[in-house]
Amino acid sequence: MRYGMGAEVLQDISFTLDPGSFHFLTGPSGAGKTSLLKLLYLAHRPSRGLVTMFGDDVTSAPRSALPRLRRRIGVVFQEYRLLDHMSAIDNVAMPLRIAGGADEAKIREHVEELLIWVGLKDRMHARPPTLSGGEKQRVAIARAVIAKPDLLLADEPTGNVDPDMARRLMHLFVELNKLGTTTVVATHDLELVEEMGGAVMQLSAGGLTHSPAGEGQIRNPHRPHKGLTP
């Protein structure tokens, strides 16, 4: 993958994300973690090679086919990408409202429960400009997981929260993963990676290495959040 006429950011990368697997994506700043995530959430196409998502070749797929695939992906953006004119609760509810088919009262109940779980009970009606960086991060995470996506991608999701909240949020990802969501978390926090366990994909100099097979089990989840149980 390259941007414009620049050098390739990612080179000769090949990997498969098995359904229901959990992976940490690590590497130094500038290694290409965000670029790889952009390929996975279909913001960019590869300059060469093949990308297959949910059985579909997206490399040459028409743009009209991409929204259907994106609806199966939840993304936690590093820069949040919240809508400033909407409250936290409405930002989080948006994926459910767009999907349709759910009663508004049920949507609000589910969203409120999740926002309480991530520590935003008293901030759910606040708008993003009045939230701290850590609060915005938690709203962004709640929005990404609310619809139980098939694939969850998180770009430095614990970068603006304290260690205790970082572990709490990571365990939220683990709960969703245990329900079958394939999960990729990009992070610099190697201590958290070591504590949680799980498979690791490491980017360096445009290349990708994998942890040994069999290291994909995440350790010690908290008691499940009831809004994420089947």
Q: How far apart are CA 213 and CA 158, in angstroms?
A: 26
What domains can you pick out in the chain, each with its CATH number?
8-72+150-220 (3.40.50.300), 83-148 (no CATH)
Rounded CA-CA distance 155/201 in Å is: 14
Length of the chain: 230
Total H helices, total E strands in the chain:
7, 8
Per-residue pLDDT of the chain (230 residues; tens, 9 = 90+): 555 555 677 888 889 999 999 999 999 888 889 989 999 999 988 888 889 998 889 888 888 988 889 999 999 998 999 999 999 999 999 999 998 888 999 999 999 999 998 899 999 999 999 999 989 999 999 999 999 999 999 999 988 888 888 888 888 888 889 889 999 999 988 888 888 888 999 998 878 998 754 444 565 444 444 444 32
144-172, pLDDT tens digit by residue?
999 999 999 999 998 888 888 888 888 88
- Integer CA distances (angstroms), 25 to 53, 96, 142, 228, in order: 18, 28, 20, 24
The H or E element that residue 15 is part of is: none
Beta bridge partners of 76: 154
